[in-house]
């Protein structure tokens, strides 16, 4: 009798485990479909989309000003006549062959009328909706024409989260896609570097390190920079000959002193830095509704040398241009980052079925920290490393960066600039990266200045 009861007890226990297992099945299924369902559905791998892809009935894609970027003529998909514009927006618009991921994929459900109920379809016909993007095609073309290197430029309205321009080079021509083109050989032209390219952030990482220092109140450090120092067995150098001399918290930021920041990172400690990085959205799986974006990477090892390098944007740090732009947008917006969107409107004929709304992505720092950082970034443009971004059209704040990478055994530099217009009537945040161009202050920074001037000229 005893034995049998014990057996029943065990059976009851197993029953509880089985219930837990099946509840887990149901919850995981629901969770994953609610969280990822739309994204999975719209991937180019989904044969249902290509099956439903009746090009003849597909809607058109416009930019924010109504410039037509993609439309259907019979069974053929047409793209903007202007060749430069077509190439400039090719990543953001995408293509119908599933080579790249753009509006053609992400918004397929609107373009092909898949969001329409079957009943609506019978009523209004099977034509899909027209999609209006937040980008300005003219600004994109301007950027494309002025990019002398491969890389990426992204401009966002930091108050509303509208992406005004997003250009990735090298680019491709969607109108010749599907035919064999010699450029196909490289293969990376389909990659949208804005959201899928991960680069070491270099000195732009100092925004994060500075925020960590400000939030922990470690701002009193002063050092004499001799151009190189050994920290935790690893040599950290400043590119300036002879070093920066005596630097404090402010001048170290404005003049981008690596050694100061290497010491500062070690002083702040790994867990502190990691916490700030996570707060900034590093190591976070972005789930934006309008596009996919790769995760940015920040990790710490036990070695203080690694931490020193991590604090100046090297070691294993990786960031996408979009994410780096969002950081400066956070500084601009008092610490709060608006969620970036590319979809402005969806219309069936003249009736809109989509309401653009500004959502908050997350708060990455306190308002006080943001305002101090704003001052430092102003100083950087005014009299620091980013003076070439000091334009007449608006007041620019920013930070340059030079990210080292090794290619074919040769050390090269990516040129970075992240910044924003301080003027609330021109709420523009920008990130520029030019691959292998050289120092940030020499290449990315002037381009950023030009782009913002152009944007202001266009009325943003």
Partner 1 sequence: MILKRYGAGLILTFMILFLLTAMLLLSFQDGPFDGGVFLWGVILAAVIVLQYNILSAVFKHIDRITLLIADFLCIIGFVMLYRMNPEAGERQFMWIVVGNIAMVAALIIIKRVRDFGRANWWFMLLGILLLGITLVLSTSQLGANNWLKIGPFKFQPSEFVKVLFLIVTAYFLSTRQRKRDMWPYFLFTIACVGILVLSTDLGAALLFAGTFLIVFYVGTGNLGITLLSIGAFAGGAYASYYLFDHVKTRVEIWQDPWAAYEGKGYQIVQGLLAIASGGVLGTGLGNGMPTSIPVHETDYIFAAIAEEFGLIVAVALIAFYLVFIVRGILIAMDARAKFDKLLVFGSTCMLALQSFIIIGGVIKLIPLTGITMPFVSLGGSSMISSMMLLGIIEGVAQKNGELDEAELAEMGGGIE
Partner 2 sequence: MDGAIYEVAAYAMRYWFILVIVGILVASIYISYKQYNEKKYVKGAMSKFFGYLEIVGGPEEFIGDRFGVREQNTIGSSQHADIILPDKTVLATHALLYVEEGDMILSPTSRSDTRINSRRAINQHKLKTGDIISIGDVDFYVYIKRTRIGNDS
Which secondary structure element, helix H or strand E, spans residue 400, and what is its range? strand 396-407
Q: Which of partner 1, partner 2, none lies near 289, with the C-beta cut-off 5 to 8 A by kind?
A: none
Alpha helix locations (H) across 269-401?
270-280, 304-311, 321-332, 367-383
Min separation Cβ 351 and partner 1, Å: 24
Instruction: Name the binder of 50 from partner 2, partner 1, none, CB < 5-8 A by kind.
Output: none
Residue 1 interacts with partner 1 (CB under 8 A)? Answer: no
Name the site residues for partner 2 (rule: CB under 8 A): 1, 4, 8, 117-119, 122
Give the H or E element holding residue 133: strand 130-133
**Contact flag: residue 48 with partner 1 (CB under 8 A):** yes
For residues 200 and 433, give the distance between their C-alpha atoms in angstroms, rounded to a whole number. Answer: 11
Phi first, then psi: what are they for 413, rounded to 5°? -125, 130
Name the residue nearer to partner 2 (CB basis): 125 or 375. Answer: 125
> Which of partner 1, partner 2, none interacts with 6 (beta carbon under 5 to 8 A by kind)?
partner 1
User: Which partner from the list partner 1, partner 2, none does 1 bind, CB cut-off 5 to 8 Å by kind?
Assistant: partner 2
Q: Are 292 and 101 in contact (CB under 8 A)?
A: yes
| Residue whose CB is less far from partner 2, 121 or 412 | 121
**Contact status, residue 340 vs residue 92, Cβ threshold 8 Å:** no
Q: To which H or E segment does residue 348 belong?
A: strand 343-348
Q: Which does 183 bind (CB under 5 to 8 A by kind): partner 1, partner 2, none?
A: none
- 37 makes contact, choosing from partner 2, partner 1, none, with CB < 5 to 8 Å by partner type, with partner 1
Q: How far lies 377's CA from each of 85, 183, 252, 257, 432, in Å?
A: 32, 40, 12, 14, 16
- Per CB under 8 A, 123 contacts partner 1: no
User: Among 27-35, 251-259, 299-307, 405-413, which window interacts with partner 1 (CB under 8 A)?
Assistant: 27-35
239 binds partner 1 (CB under 8 A): no
Report the C-alpha gap between 84 and 100 in whole angstroms: 18
Closer to partner 1 at the Cβ: 123 or 392?
123
- 3-state helix, strand and coil shares in percent for the chain, rounded to the nearest 5: 40, 20, 35
If the CB atoms of residues 263 and 286 are measured against partner 1, the closer one turns out to be: 286
Binding stretches for partner 1 (CB under 8 A): 4, 6-8, 10-12, 14-15, 18-19, 21-26, 28-30, 32-33, 36-38, 40-41, 43, 45-48, 51, 118
């Amino acid at each position: 009798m005893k034995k049998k009861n014990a057996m029943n007890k065990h059976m009851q226990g197993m029953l509880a485990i089985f219930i837990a297992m099946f509840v887990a099945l149901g919850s995981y299924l629901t969770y994953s479909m609610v969280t990822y369902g739309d994204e999975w559905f719209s991937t180019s791998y989904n044969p249902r989309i290509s099956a439903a892809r009746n090009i003849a009935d597909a809607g058109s894609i416009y930019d924010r000003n109504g410039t037509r970027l993609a439309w259907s003529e019979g069974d053929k998909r047409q793209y903007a006549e202007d060749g430069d514009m077509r190439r400039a927006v090719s990543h953001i618009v995408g293509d119908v062959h599933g080579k790249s991921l753009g509006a053609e994929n992400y918004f397929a459900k609107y373009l092909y009328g898949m969001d329409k109920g079957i009943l609506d379809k019978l009523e209004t016909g099977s034509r899909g909706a027209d999609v209006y993007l937040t980008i300005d095609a003219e600004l994109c073309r301007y950027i494309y024409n002025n990019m002398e290197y491969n890389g990426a430029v992204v401009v966002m309205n930091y108050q509303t989260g509208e992406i005004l321009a997003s250009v990735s080079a090298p680019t491709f021509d969607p109108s010749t896609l599907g035919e064999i083109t010699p450029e196909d050989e490289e293969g990376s032209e389909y990659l949208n570097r804005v959201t899928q390219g991960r680069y070491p952030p270099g000195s732009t990482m100092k925004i994060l390190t500075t925020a960590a220092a400000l939030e922990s109140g470690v701002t009193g450090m002063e050092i004499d920079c001799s151009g190189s120092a050994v920290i935790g067995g690893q040599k950290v150098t400043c590119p300036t000959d002879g070093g920066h001399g005596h630097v404090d918290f402010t001048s170290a930021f404005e003049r981008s002193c690596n050694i100061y920041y290497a010491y500062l990172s070690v002083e702040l400690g790994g867990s502190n830095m990691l916490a700030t990085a996570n707060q900034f959205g590093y190591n976070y799986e972005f789930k934006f509704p309008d596009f996919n974006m790769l995760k940015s990477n920040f990790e710490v090892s036990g070695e203080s040398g690694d931490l020193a390098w991590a604090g100046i944007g090297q070691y294993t740090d990786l960031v996408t241009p979009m994410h780096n732009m969002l950081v400066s947008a956070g500084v601009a917006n008092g610490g709060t980052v608006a969620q970036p969107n590319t979809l402005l409107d969806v219309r069936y004929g003249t009736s809109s079925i989509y309401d653009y709304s500004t959502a908050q992505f997350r708060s990455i720092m306190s308002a006080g920290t943001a305002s101090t950082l704003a001052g430092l970034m102003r100083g950087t443009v005014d009299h620091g490393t980013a003076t070439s971004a000091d334009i007449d059209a608006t007041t620019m704040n920013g930070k340059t960066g030079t990210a080292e990478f090794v290619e074919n055994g040769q050390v090269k530099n990516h040129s970075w600039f992240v910044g924003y217009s301080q003027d609330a009537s021109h709420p523009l945040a920008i990130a520029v990266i030019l691959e292998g161009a050289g120092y940030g202050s020499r290449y990315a920074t002037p381009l950023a200045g030009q782009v913002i001037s152009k944007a202001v000229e266009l009325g943003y």
